[in-house]
Amino acid sequence: MTIFPFTEATPIQFQQPLPRTSDVVIIGGGVIGVTTALFLARRNVSVTLLEKGRIAAEQSSRNWGWIRQQGRDADELPIVIEAQRLWRQLAQECGEDIGLKQTGVTYLARTDKEMAGFAKFLKIAQAHGVDTRLLDQGELASLIPAMSRLFKGAMITPSDMRAEPW
């Protein structure tokens, strides 16, 4: 049973005796430790995952959940593209709903300077085949008709995703 939010009263679920030997010992059962353990185990590497509290009970279960390509540094973007592929794969393999949705991400610009920043990222996105595009005022108004404030425009990446952190 999954209990969220985690508290001191949340039962500790995994407390098997420690193995005598292990190829790899990972300290920390957040998303980084758990997925590292998963990928090593798939390669038949024996792994011990040590968590001082409860699995995923710290930052990994309470972030905003975005799996975002938009606005990334040029060197980061290929990593996020690969992360998207892995999240889709995890969603199929997990056997339960991890809340993965392709919602897209939109950034709004108040100034021309912000729009110029978006245009810089657009070039990076296009070089990697990512579907980012810029919206002018009219396109933004069609996308969010109820918006009361006037913005210069926006940048949108429809393929960006979100998963449920907990």
Query: Which residue ranges make up the site for ligand FAD (CB under 6 A)?
Result: 27-33, 50-53, 57-60, 63-66
Strands 153-157 and 24-27: unpaired
Which CB atom, from 30 or from 158, has the smaller least distance to ligand FAD?
Answer: 30
Which CB atom, from 69 or from 115, has the smaller least distance to ligand FAD?
Answer: 69
Residue 136 phi, psi dihedral angles, 5° rounding: -85, 180
Min dist CB 138 to ligand FAD, Å, is 30
Three-class DSSP category at 47: strand
Which CB atom, from 36 or from 141, has the smaller least distance to ligand FAD?
Answer: 36
Min dist CB 53 to ligand FAD, Å, is 5
Residue 24 phi, psi dihedral angles, 5° rounding: -135, 135
Min dist CB 24 to ligand FAD, Å, is 15
Which CB atom, from 2 or from 59, has the smaller least distance to ligand FAD?
Answer: 59
For residues 67-105, b (16+ Cβ closer than 10 Å) or e, as one string?
bbbbbbeeeebeebeeebeeeeeebeeeeeebebeeebb
Which CB atom, from 62 or from 152, has the smaller least distance to ligand FAD?
Answer: 62
Min dist CB 84 to ligand FAD, Å, is 11
Min dist CB 142 to ligand FAD, Å, is 27
